[in-house]
Amino acid sequence: MLLPKFEFHEPESIEKALALKKQLNSGARFLAGGTDLLVYLKKKIVSTDHVISLQRIDGLGEIQENESNLFIGACTTMAAISRHPAVLKRFCALKSGADNMGTHLIRNRATIGGNVCNASPAGDTLPALLVYDAVALVESPDGKREIPLTDFFKGPGKTDLKNDDILTGFRLPYPPDHSGAHYIQLGKRKSAEINVVNAASFLTCEPGTSNILSARIALGSVAPTPIRAPEAEAALMGRTAGDDTFNAAAETARFKDCSPIDDFRGSAAYRRAMVGVLTKRTLAEAFDQARA
Ligand X SMILES: Cc1cc2nc3c(=O)[nH]c(=O)nc-3n(C[C@H](O)[C@H](O)[C@H](O)COP(=O)(O)OP(=O)(O)OC[C@H]3O[C@@H](n4cnc5c(N)ncnc54)[C@H](O)[C@@H]3O)c2cc1C
Bridge partners for 14 per DSSP = none
268 scored as a contact of ligand X (CB under 6 A): no
- Helix (H) / strand (E) element for 122: namely none
Among 68-76, 162-170, 171-179, 265-273, the segment contacting another protein (CB under 8 A):
265-273
Measured from the CB of residue 91, what is the shortest distance to ligand X in angstroms? 17
Size of the site for another protein (CB under 8 A): 19
**CB 47, CB 70: distance < 8 Å:** no
Task: Please identify, using beta-carbon distances, which residue of 140 and 211 lies nearer to ligand X.
Answer: 140
Is 264 one of the binding residues for another protein (CB under 8 A)? Answer: yes
Contact indicator for 231, 256 with CB cutoff of 8 Å: yes
Please state the φ and ψ torsions of residue 152, each to the nearest 5 degrees: -80, -40
Q: Single out the segment in contact with another protein by CB under 8 A; choices: 71-79, 157-165, 273-281, 283-291.
A: 273-281
The stretch near ligand X (CB under 6 A) out of 36-44, 86-94, 147-155, 233-241 is 36-44
Distances (CA, A) of 74 to 58, 187, 280: 11, 26, 31
Contact 249, 235 (CB under 8 A): yes
- Helix H or strand E encompassing 138: strand 135-140
Of 215, 197, 200, 201, give the one whose Cα is nearest residue 263. Answer: 197
Candidates 1-9, 29-37, 176-184, 226-234 — which segment interacts with ligand X by CB under 6 A? 29-37
Give the footprint of another protein on this chain (CB under 8 A). 1-2, 103, 186, 188-194, 196, 264, 266-267, 270, 273-274, 277
Give the footprint of ligand X on this chain (CB under 6 A). 29-37, 39, 54, 74, 101-102, 106, 109-111, 113-115, 117-118, 123-124, 166-167, 194
